[in-house]
Amino acid sequence: MPPRPTKVSSPSPIDAPALQPTLAESSRRLLPWLIAVAFFMESLDTTILNTAVPTIAEALHVAPLSMKSVLASYTLSLAVFIPISGWMADRFGTRRVFASAIGIFTLGSFLCGISSNIHVLVACRILQGCGGAMMVPVGRLTLVRTFARSELVRAMSFVAIPSLIGPMLGPIAGGLIVGYLHWRLIFFVNIPIGLAGLVLVYLHLPDYREHTDPLDVAGLILFGSGVALLSYVLEVFGEHTLDVREILGLLAVSILLLAGYGFHATRTAHPMLRLALFRIRTFRAAVSGSFLTRLGIGGIPFLFPLLYQVGLGFTPIQSGLLMMPQAIAAMSLKMTMPRILARFGYRAVLVSNTLIIGLLILLFATIGKGTPVWLIVAEVFCYGFFTSLQYTSMNTLVYAEVTDEQASSASSIASTMQQMSISFGVASASLVTAFFLPDRYRSNPLQFIHGIHRAFFVLGGMTLLSTIVFRELKRGDGDMVSQRKELHGE
């Protein structure tokens, strides 16, 4: 059952957000399902493409590792355009922006499906990212403004359940499509979902608006170009397309651009990303911890299909089936998550859970030719269980102590950092694999598996180190979000 929406009458100034439009009860009950449309489209699009990476690479006549540009360009586009999503939602209304995002995403999917080479495909993925950049943060913002803080964990958890159908269906659907049909159909599956979502959004999504300050155009240029250039450096590093001096020069320019934005943000009245929110301990720990954790986790969906198909010789369908246990485990945990957080608290959950995830990634380095399938399934199932808890814990802690006026900026910053870490995670995973796997070994399955194993070691170590950030939290942080029973006297 979806979470019961907070009643409009007599809202607590601490617990309940300000509700601008008055929603019909049927629309309020349907709202979590509408937001789930965006989550479902994004999760399906990513996971269905991961399984098809080797097949698409062969069809477009590029190396499998070069496909990271197709994956990273989408998440990079999200990171560049997400910062203005909160401003656009406040300025033009959540309904119009959310609907436009779905429309752009659907158009981008169609254009990806008719792309003729990898360069056109990357460009169309960037267009998809422009739409996706507004879908998830504006969806989260709508939930934050509709449901009280004490209901937020239940609302977020419920919204994530339908979206987890995407990761569960994506791998096997991708395997079936590339195995029996054509890889282009992978992108066309979003079209009917997007059209149905557009109709439902216009009928039922609330149209929240807030006072908006002038758009920080200078900040958008500095931050967007800095992030884009940094991601490009990570992408080309290791491919020997640029020499060391050129790489270092581009890296220096990207760092200067990002530093310039930091300097600009502290001296402008209305910055694009309000860095002052990092003074809030729970927000700072949630966002920075999420960024570092996802640097390790973000590369796993890219490495698994390569390990299964190129290294172990599984078919795309078998590879898809082996990725399904992660989504099944994540779905099985969602309804118990509020109780876990209320029982142990955010600090204990995030510190211990991050350690477990890091160890599980290290354990993936033991998967080889002789590993039984049941053991692979068990390891992936456990990984899905704990990563699901990690994601929802970090996503809800972001809003623990921010005000309703800060919710838009908080959502933009959290979503931007999340997508940056995923993009950098894919680039880092490919970079590490390319470093440990010289070109002369890429046709040797045993050497390829060995290179993937070393990449798992690096990503697992990065995840373990991110535990340090969550130790900044104190006992009781996030209780207003997790301990729903105390706030409602239940």
Rg of the chain (C-alpha set)? 22
Note whether 402 and 483 are same-domain residues: yes
Which has more pLDDT, 415 or 457? 457
Look at 7-16, 196-205, 253-262 and tell me which has the smallest mean pLDDT.
Answer: 7-16
Q: Tell me the C-alpha distance between 321 and 412, whole Å.
A: 34
Percent of the chain at pLDDT > 90 equals 3
Q: pLDDT for 89-132, tens place per residue?
A: 778 887 888 888 888 988 988 998 888 788 888 888 888 888 88
Note whether 255 and 322 are same-domain residues: no
Q: Could you give the number of structural domains in the chain?
A: 2
Give me the CATH number covering residue 358.
1.20.1250.20
Tell me if 85 sits within 8 A of 138, measured CB to CB. yes
Domain that holds residue 253: 216-271
Note whether 302 and 434 are same-domain residues: yes
Note whether 201 and 251 are same-domain residues: no
Reported pTM: 0.68
Within 13 Å and on the Cβ side, how many CA atoms surround 228?
Answer: 14
Tell whether the model's pLDDT for residue 5 goes beyond 80.
no
Which has more pLDDT, 238 or 373? 373
Mean pLDDT, range 260-265, rounded to an integer: 86
Three-state SS for 10? coil
Q: Tell me the C-alpha distance between 184 and 258, whole Å.
A: 37
Tell me if 131 sits within 8 A of 101, measured CB to CB. yes
Q: For residue 360, what pLDDT is reported?
A: 92
Distances 347 to 192, 344, 487 between C-alpha atoms, Å: 42, 8, 20
Tell whether the model's pLDDT for residue 482 goes beyond 60.
no
Q: Does residue 6 sit within a domain?
A: no
Q: pLDDT for 391-430, tens place per residue?
A: 878 877 887 777 767 777 787 788 777 777 766 776 777 7
Q: Tell me the C-alpha distance between 134 and 82, whole Å.
A: 6
Q: Does residue 5 sit within a domain?
A: no
Q: For residue 150, what pLDDT is reported?
A: 60
Note whether 396 and 474 are same-domain residues: yes
Mean pLDDT, range 216-230, rounded to an integer: 82
Q: Does residue 13 sit within a domain?
A: no
Mean pLDDT, range 281-303, rounded to an integer: 82
Note whether 245 and 365 are same-domain residues: no
Which has more pLDDT, 247 or 258? 258
Tell whether the model's pLDDT for residue 45 goes beyond 80.
no
Note whether 282 and 238 are same-domain residues: no
Note whether 42 and 144 are same-domain residues: yes
